[in-house]
Chains A and B, each alone.
Chain A
């Protein structure tokens, strides 16, 4: 006997992600899902952003890693509430893991929650967590062929942060090619060229973040 099913394999995650989103919206909390390959500079971006914005935006951080609580310790030192999720073996965060951290935050007192996903350009793209925006980071040391190799991540992201531009003189990477190929995949992508090391370009990122927090408050 044939049974017609037609069900989304990720329906369970989608359901939880929607429930998470409702809770975030009720609290006027902007939630960002930050994704990149390992070592692109997600955690230093958070450290920089906390230093620059913590007096005007009340934020919390969720750190996703396969193992260790190093990242949560790093950002907690900056004086913001931070929760570490260790996925064990899973290569991505999902809605359920995010929901499990809710007890550790007082969302009413927060305006921005940044979720640093597990370093990986593939799997996190498939799993919604209830975020407002997916933000991806690519560092110039990873090479300018990444949009062509990982198109889904570029297609679903709202913002692309191109990090480590201070290293451009030392690597064979064309930032123009990254931008051109990314825009072919996602014409609406907002792109910032930044260096978390020197601080170059970060003010534009902070302004974008400020505007989004403001919009979510309304």
Chain B
């Protein structure tokens, strides 16, 4: 639902990087979206397309990587993926787990001319 604000922020970052590197054409954008963020990738692609349409960065390819929700148990130090949003260590049952990845919302790289 808030993919429009996310797309707007993405475009600000892309334009800023293009300015700094004197780039004129945007070929593609690579973003990381954590599984535990509340972003719907299709909605983000749609918003990005709409917001760049008829601008000087129109037509760029948006590549979205979904990053799994990974945690590390504070007690036994083992790492594991969480798929059911139950933040329990599957090895020792520990309830204190730190999130290592899965909440990303970042522009990783861009391809420009």
Contact = CB atoms under 8 A, between A and B. Distances in A.
Nearest to B34: A152
A7 B37 contact: no
Nearest to A184: B86
Given A92-B2, A155-B36, A3 B106 contact: no
Contacts of A10: 6, 9, 105
Contacts of A151: 36, 85
Contacts, number: 93
Nearest to A94: B5
Contacts of A152: 36-38
A2 B111 contact: yes
Interface in A73-123: 90-92, 94, 120, 122-123
Interface in A1-22: 1-13
B47 interface: no
Interface in B1-59: 1-2, 5-6, 9-10, 12-14, 17, 21, 23, 31, 36-39
B113 A1 contact: yes
B60 interface: no
A2 B96 CA distance: 40
Interface in B96-110: 96, 105-110
B38 A9 contact: no
Nearest to B86: A184
Contacts of A3: 17, 21, 23, 109-112
Contacts of B113: 1
A51 to B, nearest CB: 34
A90 B8 CA distance: 13
Given A1-B113, A90-B2, A151-B36, A6 B107 contact: yes
A13 to B, nearest CB: 8
Contact of B105 (A2, A12, A126, A155): A126
Contact of A126 (B38, B87, B88): B38
* A interface majority secondary structure: mixed
Contacts of A209: none
A52 interface: no
Contacts of A187: 87, 95-96
A2 B86 contact: no
22 contacts: A1-B21, A1-B112, A2-B109, A2-B110, A3-B110, A3-B112, A5-B13, A6-B107, A6-B108, A8-B105, A11-B9, A12-B9, A13-B9, A120-B1, A122-B1, A127-B2, A151-B36, A155-B36, A184-B86, A184-B88, A185-B86, A187-B96
Interface of A: 1-13, 90-92, 94, 120, 122-123, 125-127, 147-148, 151-152, 155, 184-187
Top 7 A-B residue pairs of the complex, sorted by shortest distance between their CB atoms = A123-B2, A151-B85, A187-B95, A184-B86, A9-B105, A5-B107, A122-B38
